[in-house]
Amino acid sequence: VVVVVVVCCLKMLMVPRLFVGGVQRVSNVMRCATQLRTMATNFEHLQVSVEDGVGQITLYRPKSLNALCDELMREMNVVVDEFEANPDVRVMVITGSGKAFAAGADIKQMVPRTFQEVYSGNFLSFWDRIAHATKPTIAAVNGFALGGGCELAMMCDIIYASEKAKFGQPEINLGTIPGAGGTQRLTRAVGKSNAMELCLTGDIISAQEAKAMGLVSKVFPADELMPKTMELAKKIASKSQPILQMAKEAVNKSQELSLHEGLQYEKRLFHSSFATHDRKEGMTAFQEKRKPDFKDE
């Protein structure tokens, strides 16, 4: 059993208390700490922490380069559900332990499975919970992100990578194809030609190549990856939560709708922001040349 590192929210009590609608959020902080302590006892394949509004999930299967399996993904779904429900978690970060983000799905677990088993059981059907999170998600890819690992990273909203990161969909070398979004999300991220080449050859590309294709936002030296990722996460966490969710929803819809439909969808969400306190506060603060005081309302 892995000892789960939990950075609870207690130290937030040492800073000015946060307010929502004039009510102090100290009880939320204490509930956050209690929830994470309870969750920690159940995790075998993850390390979980919460700090300064950022919930971090670290994949922890060091003997298998963090290979993904049903058990790990079930644990992740539990954490994502908890983070979604916790008002003190505003952004989620996923990374891997050791020299891998996730080297793929656990092949040893897949070898004995049959068509009837995977088809009737809808294998991988619950592996994409993070893709449906309403809060912003960031993948910090510290090493190998292959197969299911690359697919997991692509389920996140933003991908940061270290210079040592490697990406690829090598399923073709195993006599199968990607099954958790590799043919679909990859194509949308890097274009048909690049995606087709990666899926048909199983080639592995560097972080720099992934950035040039548009798969990765930024690449950093290995020792700067997590500090830079947390800097980004905290910057995003400082914004209005409902407006963040509107922006995320609008961008994600661009992958599913025609341009005309997407523009209409965007306009409706833009109009909806005028029903919020934070839209008025943000514009007023701009006029008054001060920092906005968002209330998540």
The set of catalytic residues is 105, 148, 151, 171
Q: What is the spatial distance between Cα 134 and Cα 132, in angstroms, rounded to a whole number?
A: 6
- Bridging pattern class, strands 137-141 and 218-220: unpaired
Specify the 3-state DSSP secondary structure of 51.
strand
Q: What is the spatial distance between Cα 101 and Cα 94, in angstroms, rounded to a whole number?
A: 9
Q: 125 is written with which tokens? A: 């059907």
Q: What is the spatial distance between Cα 202 and Cα 94, in angstroms, rounded to a whole number?
A: 24
Q: 191 is written with which tokens? A: 């274009």
Length of the chain: 297
β-bridge partners, 105: 68
The helix (H) or strand (E) run that includes residue 155 is: helix 148-155
Q: What is the spatial distance between Cα 244 and Cα 236, in angstroms, rounded to a whole number?
A: 8
Residues with Cβ < 8 Å from 132, sequence gap 6 or more? none
Specify the 3-state DSSP secondary structure of 145.
strand
Q: What is the spatial distance between Cα 287 and Cα 285, in angstroms, rounded to a whole number?
A: 5
Q: 160 is written with which tokens? A: 């940061």
For the beta sheet containing 218-220, the strands, ordered from the edge strand earlier in sequence to the opposite edge, are: 46-51, 54-59, 91-96, 137-141, 158-162, 218-220
* The dihedral formed by the CA atoms of 114, 115, 116 and 121, expressed in degrees to the nearest 10: 90
Position 43, amino acid: F
